[in-house]
Amino acid sequence: MFDLKWIRENSEAFDEGLKRRGLGPLSAEVLKIDEERRSHLQALQDAQAERNNASKEIGKAKASGDEAAANAAIEKVAKIKSFIQSGEDTEREINERLTALLSSIPNLPHDDVPIGEDETQNELMRQVGGVPSFDFEPKEHFEIGEALGYLDFETAAKMSGSRFVLLSGPLARMERALAQFMLDLQTETHGYTEVSPPIMVKKNALYGTGQLPKFEEDLFKTTGDHYLIPTAEVPLTNIAADCIIDDDYLPRRYVAYSPCFRSEAGSAGRDTRGMIRQHQFMKVELVSITRPDQSDEELERMTSCAEEVLNRLGLAYQVLKLCTGDMGFGARRTFDIEVWLPGQDTYREISSCSVCGDFQARRMNGRYRVEGEKGTHFVHTLNGSGLAVGRTLVAVLENYQQADGSVVVPEVLRPYMNGLELIEPAKK
RNA sequence: GGAGAGGUGGCUGAGUGGUUGAAAGCGGCGGUCUUGAAAACCGUUGAGCGUUUACGCGUUCCGGGGGUUCGAAUCCCUCCCUCUCCGCCA
């Protein structure tokens, strides 16, 4: 959501930002409605002032028992009434148009975000860790997992259809181990506060983070009024909704382990094999609520918190700065972390860290106050995966696979897996 | 699922049609007192929008929306949310 006053005063910068996003200019349309609204408001408010004065007169006249004067004033006001009535209708209608337009406009990218149409134009920031070499042809994760007997798409499809998976035995355990390891790292080493949030939310929460009203088709909705969260970003960021936080409490850092639900409406045919793209997956999510002057630095920090998971797991990855065309709706700047998958012979997204500025804060009315100062300001919000657990499991399987089909358990996970060092095929 | 109660400013909480943007308390800010602090006392303290060089002026806001009325925090309708009791239950 944008500050109307800012658009009014920076209409060129606004259109320029939209252009960088690959969108046409909108300031003219916005300002036209704004203009309409303001000139209308002036007339309406004059009429209201007149009515209020007359009403006070009536009050006084009645109090002093002067019925004649009261009736005269009532008659006078009656004439303005219909104008005010229709004027209020018009105001409502204009406001609705304005909010509808404003709430569908994506956030503007930071100046340093490269301009581009799609993921091919993202900017490579760094590559970390050596890509492992194999003296055999590395398999994809689903081949490995299915051969082990602990990764079962068929059984999942039987009860849930496509894009679901059933993990069992040591792989189910590894999913839990990964989550535990990530949570411990983010809370104990990086200072995040662990949260166990609701995973069903109402639409105002989704409006706050920007999934609604534009992306309803990506969400699962219950038969009631709840939606299943597509990411814990939604409940975590909405902690700040309708709050006024003292500035010395900022930044606030939250981490949550939760399932995520996505309809994948626009992805038919993509990543149909394996567990890369599922309707349901587990993720450890990081969210920061900061002051405006802290948010850029916080994005760097958050990204490195996510990277540390991969460092400790010994997985190779690269960090990209997303170009304008590949960024999400609410983001001003996004870093994607892509992990190396030997089976696919490529890097795949495993985390996405974004700074949203005050875009979400405006939508959810999340503010902070500086001690001793008058008034409030909008907070800045950031979110990032730390990490997507399902895809991390994929990465471990592919990177730690051996020629005989067994999979070595990364050292940092062993304490979480009862000391298990090697995953071998299930005995039938 | 059945029956009730309620949503008021940063917080607690009065207010049931007429100078009420709203008592009181807490908190915040300023001051007096004090070597300093605390306590006490005095004063002050909402937000959005429009307009104005500015002081200011106007308007809207007592969960959201609609209605009644010359006039609504106060009456009516509706939606949302919270809570209590009973039943069921992880």
CATH code at position A25? 1.10.287.40
Query: How many angstroms separate the Cα of A140 from the Cα of each of A313, A341, A348, A399?
Result: 19, 8, 13, 10
* A317 assigned to some structural domain: yes
Same domain, A92 and A123: no
Task: Domain of residue A39: give its range.
Answer: 4-102
What pairing do the DSSP bridges indicate for beta strands A252-261 and A193-195?
Answer: parallel
A65 pLDDT band, cuts 50/70/90, is: low
Same domain, A142 and A12: no
Same domain, A197 and A95: no
Can you give the distance from the CA of residue A42 to the C1' of nucleotide B52 in angstroms?
14
CATH code at position A244? 3.30.930.10
Name the closest nucleotide to A54, judged by C1' and CA.
Answer: B70
Can you give the distance from the CA of residue A224 to the C1' of nucleotide B80 in angstroms?
14
With a 7 Å cutoff on the CB, does A88 touch strand B?
yes
Question: What average pLDDT does range A339-367 have in this prediction?
Answer: 94
Is pLDDT at A52 greater than 70 in this prediction? Answer: yes
* A397 assigned to some structural domain: yes
Is pLDDT at A180 greater than 90 in this prediction? Answer: yes
Task: Show Cβ contacts of residue A172 under 8 Å, excluding neighbours closer than 6 positions.
Answer: A150
d(CA A33, CA A244): 31
Active site residues of A: 262, 277, 349, 352, 391
Name the closest nucleotide to A367, judged by C1' and CA.
Answer: B10
Same domain, A136 and A95: no
What ipTM was estimated for this complex?
A: 0.82
Name the closest nucleotide to A73, judged by C1' and CA.
Answer: B70
With a 7 Å cutoff on the CB, does A375 touch strand B?
yes
Predicted local distance difference test score (pLDDT) of residue A342: 97
Predicted local distance difference test score (pLDDT) of residue A40: 86
Same domain, A94 and A223: no
Same domain, A167 and A33: no
Same domain, A97 and A123: no
With a 7 Å cutoff on the CB, does A244 touch strand B?
yes
Same domain, A396 and A265: yes
Same domain, A290 and A320: yes
* A109 assigned to some structural domain: no
What residues pair up with A228 in beta bridges, in sequence order? A200
- Give the tens place of pLDDT for each residue, A277-298: 999 999 999 999 999 999 999 9
Q: Which chain B positions have some atom within 7 A of a protein CB?
A: 10, 18-19, 28-30, 46-51, 58-60, 65-68, 70-71, 80-81
* A123 assigned to some structural domain: yes
- Give the tens place of pLDDT for each residue, A196-255: 999 999 988 999 999 988 899 999 998 888 899 999 999 999 999 888 888 888 899 999
With a 7 Å cutoff on the CB, does A23 touch strand B?
no
Same domain, A242 and A351: yes
Predicted local distance difference test score (pLDDT) of residue A26: 93
Question: What average pLDDT does range A367-382 have in this prediction?
Answer: 82
Same domain, A268 and A316: yes
Of A68, A102, A136, which residue is a domain's last?
Answer: A102
Of A70, A102, A134, which residue is a domain's last?
Answer: A102
Same domain, A268 and A178: yes
* A108 assigned to some structural domain: no
d(CA A292, CA A375): 15
Of A41, A75, A102, which residue is a domain's last?
Answer: A102
Q: What is the mean pLDDT of chain A?
A: 91
d(CA A318, CA A331): 20
* A112 assigned to some structural domain: no
Predicted local distance difference test score (pLDDT) of residue A41: 86
Predicted local distance difference test score (pLDDT) of residue A195: 94
Task: Show Cβ contacts of residue A337 under 8 Å, excluding neighbours closer than 6 positions.
Answer: A303, A306, A307, A310, A317, A318, A319, A320, A349, A350, A351, A352, A353, A387
* A393 assigned to some structural domain: yes
Is pLDDT at A372 greater than 70 in this prediction? Answer: no
* A113 assigned to some structural domain: no
Looking at the structure of chain A, the number of domains it has is 2
With a 7 Å cutoff on the CB, does A79 touch strand B?
no
